[in-house]
Structure formats: structure tokens, C-alpha cells
Amino acid sequence: QVEAIEYREGSSKTYSKIKMPGLAKFSNITLKRGTFADDTDFYKWINTINLNTVERRDIIIQLLNEQHEPVLTWRALKAFPLKVQASDLKADGNEVAIETIEIAHEGLSIVQ
């Protein structure tokens, strides 16, 4: 998302403001996936966060088809995790365990 900046030059003879693109703002990315045994990479990554320091990474996100082949690939720049949430642990439930991961980043592009 890019915010529009409105301004009027002091010597402008028009009575309207000029709009220019401002700074880009990127929404957080939320990913959901099935939980697997011994797959703790996101938990390890979020535990590296300390006061005012974070391990930023460029990450690749792929949309896969039914044959597990990449259909679309995105690259998120300078990303870091904000939240990792496991699914509710219900003793009487039979749902698949899903974890939710929220990631902040400084740019998103489609990789060809």
C-alpha cells in the first residue's frame, strides 16, 4: 500500500494540490499450516527476538498445486516473526493441528 502525499508548491498558480506517491506500507503476512513433529524452525526464529534486535530474513513463500509443484512464488524482504500460535489442544477433538504464523516484512515481490 502506498500513501498519497498532497502538497501545493508555494509559487503554484493552480488552486489545487498535487498528489504524489509517498512511503510504501506493507501489511503483515499471516500463514497457516499443519503442525509436524520436530518442525520447530519458526519457534526457534521467534525466540531469537530480543529487545530492539531481531534476526531478519528474506523468505520465500510458495503456493503449491495438488502435485506439490510451485504455482506462484513470493519473496518477503527483511522479514521477522511477530507471532507463532499453535492450534487449540483439545483432548476430545479430532481436528488437524494447525499453526498460525504472523510475519512482518519490508517488501513483497512475485518471483518469476
pLDDT in tens, 35-46: 777 778 888 888
Instruction: Tell if the pTM clears 0.85, that is, is over it.
Output: no
Cα–Cα separations (whole angstroms), residue 10 to 14, 18, 20, 22, 89 = 10, 12, 16, 20, 63
Instruction: Quote the pLDDT of residue 78.
Output: 96
Count other Cβ atoms within 10 Å, centred on residue 103: 21
Strand partners, 59: 76
Whether 105 has a pLDDT exceeding 80, the answer reads: yes
Query: The domain 27-111 is classified under which CATH number: 3.30.70.20, 2.30.110.20, 1.10.1040.10, 3.40.50.970?
Result: 2.30.110.20
Whether 63 has a pLDDT exceeding 90, the answer reads: yes
